[in-house]
Amino acid sequence: MNEFSSKIKKALDRAETIVFGANCTVNYSGRAETHLPKGERIIMIKGDRTLLVHQPHGNTPVNYMKENSVHDIIEKDGKIILKSQNMPLKEFIDIEIDNVSFISSAKMADGQKIQLTGNEKDMSDMIYTDPSVIETGLRPVSREEQTEFGFIDVLCHDKDNNLVVVECKRYKSDFSAVEQLKRYVKKIKKSKGIENVRGILASPAITANALTLLEENGFKHVSVEPPMRHDRFKKNQKSLGEF
């Protein structure tokens, strides 16, 4: 245990990310008062001093301390205790450690931000680049044309030179999507001074009631998958001949 304490202290001094498994008891005071009896846990301390206590199952920590907390390893009555505190937030955790099954630490750096793919912008990019995925004869006019109600995803001309408003949804379309399309078509009619403006709702699926409302307004639905979602499911799917 002395070797464990030494490793933790050195890793904390170097602002490393620390992960260890331990049979421990966890006492927390702050947002509430909690006691977690002895059990096997996975403890993580990140380089920004965030602390996470995980049980062996599930993806949510059972206890945590936010970034910029202060951590220290002490020995008391023959026990090793990881004491963590965040004074500005008035939060405290004491982890009494009976034994350690593993420990690892490393200096880590990551300045990237997660990027959502297969979203509505990806759909509108795909449709603007190749409007034939919606309808044969469509020609792109503009993307994200601004109205007082928001931005129109894609504006096209059809084979008869009618303006077509295309609204993209990455999930199943409902009443709100139809109402949004109605507002955009109405605004384009007014701003362009024309009456013959079509509306197309592009999404993987649409509810039955929304489809009825859509068709009552003279619009149509086209089933379109977000590009990355389409790739994920279709590329991995085997044909009958491959089994």
Using alpha carbons, list the distances in angstroms from residue 217 to 185, 201, 226. 10, 12, 25
Q: Do 126 and 100 reside in the same domain of the chain?
A: no
- Report which secondary-structure segment, H or E, holds 102: strand 91-106
Residue 163 domain-assigned?
yes
Q: What is the pTM of this model?
A: 0.57
Cβ proximity of 132 and 202 under 8 Å: no
Confidence of residue 232 (pLDDT cuts 50, 70, 90): low
pLDDT given for residue 240 in this prediction? 43
The number of domains in the chain is 2
Residue 46 domain-assigned?
yes
Residue 242 domain-assigned?
no
- Would strands 163-168 and 197-203 be described as parallel, antiparallel, or unpaired? parallel
Q: Do 89 and 132 reside in the same domain of the chain?
A: no
Residue 243 domain-assigned?
no
Q: Do 125 and 226 reside in the same domain of the chain?
A: yes
For every residue of 43-98, DSSP letters joined together read EEE-TT--EEEE-SSSSS-SEEE-TT-EEEEEEETTEEEEEEEEGGGTEEEEEEEE
How does pLDDT run across 153-190, given as a tens digit for each residue?
Answer: 899 999 999 999 999 998 899 999 999 999 999 999 98
How does pLDDT run across 207-216, given as a tens digit for each residue?
Answer: 999 999 999 9
Q: Do 129 and 79 reside in the same domain of the chain?
A: no
Q: What CATH number has the domain bearing residue 80? A: 2.70.180.20
Range of the domain at 58: 2-106
Q: Do 129 and 193 reside in the same domain of the chain?
A: yes
Rounded average pLDDT over 34-40: 96
Residues β-bridged to residue 33: 29
Using alpha carbons, list the distances in angstroms from residue 97 to 9, 65, 70. 15, 17, 18
